[in-house]
Amino acid sequence: MRTRADRIRAQSGVIGAAAVLAVLGLAVIAMAGYLSLDPISVGKQSYNCGSVLFPDDPRDSVPRFRPMPPAVAGASRVCVDRRDERGRNASILLAAGAGLLVLALATPAIQNELRALHRRRRSHI
């Protein structure tokens, strides 16, 4: 039969695992936030594209009555592509971090269910 000290030791291991999962989840969510707020610059002249959440368009630097230089038009296309890629990556990281947090919160409940299942099996023997 397991003593109380054994049960406490097992519970502290589960609590420690849940804490590690929670910290990992928060770190991944913070990385997603950094990725979506980090400014993007493109080209040799370093056109400012803004970030995923606060985009800027390099075409705004050219007056409306002048023709669009090819370098600015190309930089605008590259900016859109990079923002889309970063937005996709940030969304994936956000979902992964949320999944880790849910798993961290569910870990003690899963342990309790497994313990109850184990008790039911032992009582049938």
Instruction: Supply the mean pLDDT for the chain.
Output: 86
Q: Are 79 and 52 in contact (CB under 8 A)?
A: no
d(CA 57, CA 76): 6
User: Domain segments of the chain: what residues?
Assistant: 4-124
* pLDDT exceeds 80 at position 71: yes
d(CA 84, CA 49): 12
Per residue in 17-58, pLDDT (tens digit) is 889 999 999 999 999 999 999 988 887 778 888 898 898 888
Segment 92-107 shows an average pLDDT of: 93
Torsion of CA 10, 13, 19, 23, to 10 degrees: -150
Task: Tell me the whole-structure pTM to 2 decimals.
Answer: 0.76
